Structure 1
Amino acid sequence: MAPSIMEKTRLSREDAYLIFVHNVQGNLAVNRLLGWRRGPEFAHAQELLGAYSKGGLQAVSSRHDSHSSS
């Protein structure tokens, strides 16, 4: 899955893998992957996953809005 995510998003392998782990196992798995350490890597992951979630929420909202106006 990571290569597919990389192809669609142009993210690095590490970031694509982070997205994959988040999709499959959620926030706790990401924290385990990062060793429960806060720092630059954790901040980057939070920013990446925040943007990813925001985009997903916007997509769902747009989809809902288009169905509501039909």
Structure 2
Amino acid sequence: MRGVVGITATTSDRVARFEKRGFTVVRSLDFQTGQHAWNVEREVLGHVRTRLGLRHALTDADTQGNRRLD
């Protein structure tokens, strides 16, 4: 199973592009500001990496060259 933790604008087609590549949205949250979304993303990624021991595993092909995706 592959997963992505990331933030995007509600006007973006980013989620649709990932769904076309076989990803499924498990949870989506709305935030008042991009800064708040970024802070939560950092916390989630920290948990995934340190407490669950998972590492970054997506390639450029998985993220369509977007290096900011985890």
TM-score by structure 1 length? Answer: 0.32
Q: Which has the higher contact order (CA 8 A, sep 6+)?
A: 2
Higher helix share: 1
TM-score by structure 2 length? Answer: 0.32
